[in-house]
Amino acid sequence: MLIEVLQAKLQKAVVTDSNVKYRGSITLDRDIMDDLGVKPYQRCDINLVGEDEYGQPFRGNSYILPGPRGTGCCEANGALSYHIAKKSEVHLNFYASVPEGSIDDDYEPIVIESNLPYMKKKK
């Protein structure tokens, strides 16, 4: 039997763009994806820190697409952009299916505290 476990988490990510005219997903800097060990089109849960513009908490799920390296991008696309605005703060949770019994008590997911350190400094 397979069980689903938290593989990785990007905490306190600042949303760098929000675009409703898009096929839907979260676009994430490829460097961040590599460090988290996640792949394009992998499922993720999105938790908005605080409330959306309608005064409601928001939690949704989608998939990720790779964005340009070194940009720190974390973009809410498609339907997500109705709830997640540019400059919002989100937590992204990524999951993996693993054989039951393959995870021991010492297992810990990869956690990155923010996308901001990934942004190249502009001169």
Q: Residue 73 gets which letter from DSSP?
A: -
Percent of residues in the chain assigned helix, strand, coil, to nearest 5:
10, 45, 45
Distance CA 110, CA 118 (A): 16
Active site residue 22: no
Beta bridge mates, 47: 59, 91
Residue in 60, 22, 21, 67 with CA at minimum distance from that of residue 44: 60
Considering the candidates 18, 25, 81, 88, report the single residue annotated as catalytic: 25
Burial class (CB in 10 A: 0-12, 13-18, 19+), 49: middle
Q: Is 114 a catalytic residue?
A: no
Q: Which of 63, 97, 102, 107 is catalytic?
A: 63
What amino acid positions are annotated as catalytic residues? 25, 63
